[in-house]
């Protein structure tokens, strides 16, 4: 069934100039800020209108719900719930997506990285490598806390890096949250958004880097507001 979200075209937000002209959206919405449960729906843009792709799926996210993250959006003035390192919240906002990843090769067109047990995502706020994915055999390890990008459980068997707080870039704010992914898991997380393996693989196969895919995540009310930033009035 085709869904046209034309109401969003009638409103204007001047801060949309830094958001790419995306043609693919992953939209995650929740009922409130505290719940770890949500719904994910994909959208594709065709003939200047948004259409749903596939069925909506039930997902889990941060065990303590959501907090405003750091991405392409502007955190509202006076926001009371802002994501911090270790708070158990998933980031709300608009985010670009970086590479997909996994434990072994996966033939897809979207950029995909195979990680090893020695690859770490650094979540130590005292490290110069904070919020970076590194090969621990090739860097000076100044960190005490990290996530293994490959480990015995299948949580990272397939996943996608979310560009929250400038992951793998200059500009990461210490303590604002790190190592945010879409990946596989059945229960709420420390801040990532999770689903089952077949759903994760389907999303990776669908993504097209040339279409500048974005993740839009928040409460139902927040998502409506964020959509206006993606589609300002013409």
Average pLDDT of the segment spanning 149-175? 98
* pLDDT 10s digits, 82-108: 999 999 999 999 999 999 999 999 999
Give the tokens for residue 213: 């895919």
- Exposed, middle or buried by CB within 10 Å (0-12, 13-18, 19+), for 104? exposed
Predicted confidence band at 44 (pLDDT cuts at 50, 70, 90)? very high
The pTM is what?
0.91
Q: Is 226 left (phi over 0), alpha (psi -120 to 50) or beta?
A: alpha
- Cα–Cα distances (Å) from 40 to 60, 101, 158, 182, in that order, read 10, 20, 17, 11
pLDDT-derived band of residue 232, with 50, 70 and 90 as boundaries?
low
Q: Which two tokens stand for residue 111?
A: 């950029």
Contact 196, 186 (CB under 8 A): yes
Half-sphere exposure of residue 67, counting CA atoms within 13 Å on the CB side?
21
């Amino acid at each position: 069934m085709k869904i046209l979200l034309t109401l969003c075209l009638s409103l204007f937000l001047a801060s949309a100039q830094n958001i790419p002209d995306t043609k693919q959206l992953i939209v995650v919405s929740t009922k409130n800020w505290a719940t770890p449960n949500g719904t994910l729906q994909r959208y594709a843009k065709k003939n200047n209108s948004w259409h749903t792709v596939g069925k909506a799926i039930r997902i889990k996210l941060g065990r303590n719900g959501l907090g405003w993250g750091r991405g392409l959006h502007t955190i509202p003035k006076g926001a009371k719930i802002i994501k911090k390192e270790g708070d158990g919240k998933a980031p709300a906002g608009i985010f670009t997506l970086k590479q997909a990843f996994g434990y072994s090769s996966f033939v897809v067109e979207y950029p995909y990285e195979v990680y090893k047990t020695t690859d770490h995502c650094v979540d130590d706020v005292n490290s110069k490598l904070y919020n970076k994915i590194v090969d621990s055999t090739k860097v000076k390890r100044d960190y005490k806390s990290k996530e293994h990008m490959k480990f015995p459980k299948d949580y990272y068997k397939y996943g996608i890096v979310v560009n929250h707080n400038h992951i793998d870039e200059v500009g990461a704010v210490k303590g604002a949250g790190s190592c945010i992914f879409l990946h596989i898991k059945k229960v709420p997380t420390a801040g990532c958004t999770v689903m089952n393996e077949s759903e994760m693989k389907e999303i990776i196969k669908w993504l097209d880097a040339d279409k500048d895919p974005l993740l839009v995540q928040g409460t139902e009310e927040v998502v409506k507001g964020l959509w206006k930033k993606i589609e300002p009035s013409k």
